[in-house]
Amino acid sequence: MSTSRFAVFLTIVLGIWTVLHLYVFARAGSVPVVTAHLSRRSLLVLGTVLWASYPVARLLQSWGWERLGQLLEFAGAMWIGTLFLLFVALLAVDLISLGGWLLPRLAPSLRAGALGLAGALAVVASVQGLRPPAVRDYTVHLADLPAQHDGLVVVVLTDLHLGTLLGQRWLEAALDQVQRLKPDLVAVVGDLVDGNVRRVEPLVPTLRKLRAPLGVWGVTGNHEFYAGLDASVRLLETAGYRVLRDQWAEVAPGLLIAGVDDLTARRQFGLNDQPVAKALANRPSGAVILLSHSPLEAETAAAAGASLMLCGHTHAGQIWPFGYLVRLRYKLLAGQTQVNGMPVIVSRGTGTWGPRMRLWRRGEMLRVTLRTAGSVPGQAPDAATGAAAPLAPGTSI
């Protein structure tokens, strides 16, 4: 990203950040229960401190004050989520009361209720965000999948956002969870790095523990672009992951995997070089799984013959109701859908970006079971023959 474009982006972000604070604290200043305990000067000081928390944390870390910067970044990140919930709740009251004009006597009480509700939702979101990721199961029938691969298990991780807020302890627990699923193949679908490769480098020995018989495959996300694309790719490769950059590879006879560098970042950087078509070109016959961090260009992938598309990036909005805004740009927000006959699965993300908060659903890792087109639903392949055999009671498919 050019210096001028980055300056415009930073100005917009800081402008929005400032407006949110001005709005929330102006409305909080009209609530009697708040003004009874805090003067206008105290509100101004509190708002200024909270406004500065996240930017100052990043500055401290850049100056080498790592520990203090990390603590302040965690607090500032949690404030980002809380501020958003406060803004939404107070805005809802203003829309209902027309800014207090419709219900002038009741408006302060409604705003007090909005502050309390937002605080309660922030607590719920924090609990959800700190919980370990759930395992979500999908079964996908692929027309070109050879019979010997019927029942093959792909575990999908996206949006780990490793760095300051998600580190060694969280990563070890998540990878142990993956290995218990006994995947045949692992796909890491972008944003493993949050924003600083240097912070993730100490985690490489832990990342190397992630293994699967058919390998660990990955693609870059938009945060790998922001952190430095080449450095991010080197880190993934050092960890033993095969990074697919607008290319395909055959992982087993009749089973291919393809991947593209992130499509969202490409648009932000003004790159338009038809990566999906390039990644799927000149491949041999067989089922092909396309890894794309952003759920974009699914129609192009389907037309080019992809059998299955796996994505992340959206976080399903992460904190409700932000998902409604995300859907304005990404039609495929989370879950499974069909695009011109091709199944597309969008993960809501394994980790979190910014605040360690999720409302309403926690993070997830996907366990995708591949089945041949002729396999019978409700049956799994027999380990000895490869033929379908009834699933044990309670088995998830």
Give the pLDDT of residue 3: 61
CB 151 within 8 A of CB 385: no
The total number of structural domains in the chain stands at: 2
Beta pairing class for 388-390 and 242-243: unpaired
Instruction: Tell me how far CA of residue 282 lies from CA of 274, 275, 305, 344, in angstroms.
Output: 15, 13, 11, 22
Rounded-to-integer distance, Cα 19 and Cα 37, Å: 24
Least Cα distance to 378 among 364, 396, 366 occurs for 396
Q: If DSSP codes are grouped into helix, strand and coil, which group holds residue 311?
A: strand
Rounded-to-integer distance, Cα 340 and Cα 326, Å: 23
Side by side, which strands form the sheet with 342-346? 247-252, 255-259, 287-291, 308-311, 342-346, 335-339
Give the pLDDT of residue 385: 34
Whether 117 and 144 share a structural domain: no
Whether 139 and 126 share a structural domain: no
At position 204, the amino acid (one-letter code) is: V
Whether 93 and 171 share a structural domain: no
Whether 140 and 125 share a structural domain: no
| Residue 396 resides in a domain | no
Other CB atoms within a 10 A radius of the CB of residue 281 amount to 14
Whether 176 and 320 share a structural domain: yes
Whether 243 and 321 share a structural domain: yes
Q: If DSSP codes are grouped into helix, strand and coil, which group holds residue 378?
A: coil
| Residue 394 resides in a domain | no
Least Cα distance to 191 among 162, 151, 168 occurs for 162
Rounded-to-integer distance, Cα 180 and Cα 149, Å: 20
Least Cα distance to 191 among 150, 161, 218, 170 occurs for 161
Structure tokens at 389: 């055999």
Q: What's the CATH code of the domain at 293?
A: 3.60.21.10
| Residue 33 resides in a domain | yes
Domain boundary (101, 130, 159) is at: 130
| Residue 84 resides in a domain | yes
Rounded-to-integer distance, Cα 189 and Cα 382, Å: 30
Give the pLDDT of residue 394: 29
Residues 6+ apart with CB under 8 A from 137: 366, 367, 368, 369, 396, 397
| Residue 77 resides in a domain | yes
Whether 99 and 248 share a structural domain: no
| Residue 273 resides in a domain | yes
Query: What does each of the 397 residues of the chain score in pLDDT, given as a tens digit?
Result: 556 666 787 789 899 999 999 999 999 999 999 999 999 999 999 999 999 999 999 899 888 888 899 899 999 999 999 999 999 999 999 999 998 888 888 999 999 999 999 999 999 999 999 999 999 999 999 999 999 999 999 999 999 999 978 999 999 999 999 999 999 999 999 999 998 899 999 999 999 999 999 999 999 999 999 999 999 999 999 999 999 999 999 999 999 999 999 999 999 888 888 999 999 999 999 999 999 999 999 999 999 999 999 999 999 999 999 999 999 999 999 999 999 999 999 999 999 999 999 999 999 999 999 999 876 555 554 433 333 333 332 223 2
Rounded-to-integer distance, Cα 310 and Cα 291, Å: 5
Whether 159 and 209 share a structural domain: yes
| Residue 395 resides in a domain | no
Instruction: Tell me how far CA of residue 217 lies from CA of 196, 254, 343, in angstroms.
Output: 21, 17, 20
Least Cα distance to 347 among 369, 322, 319, 318 occurs for 318
Least Cα distance to 359 among 159, 88, 169, 51 occurs for 88
The pTM score is 0.90
Helices first, then strands: H and E counts in the chain: 14, 14
Whether 153 and 96 share a structural domain: no
Structural domain for 256, as ranges = 134-389
Beta pairing class for 342-346 and 335-339: antiparallel
Rounded-to-integer distance, Cα 90 and Cα 34, Å: 14
Question: Which H helix or E strand runs over 248?
Answer: strand 247-252
Residues 6+ apart with CB under 8 A from 233: 220, 224, 243, 245
Whether 149 and 119 share a structural domain: no
Domain boundary (130, 163, 194) is at: 130
- DSSP assignment letter at 284: P
| Residue 106 resides in a domain | yes
State the Cα torsion 376-377-379-384 to the nearest 10°.
50
Give the pLDDT of residue 379: 55
Whether 247 and 344 share a structural domain: yes
CB 260 within 8 A of CB 291: yes
Domain boundary (96, 130, 164) is at: 130
Whether 111 and 141 share a structural domain: no
CB 288 within 8 A of CB 307: yes
Give the pLDDT of residue 389: 37
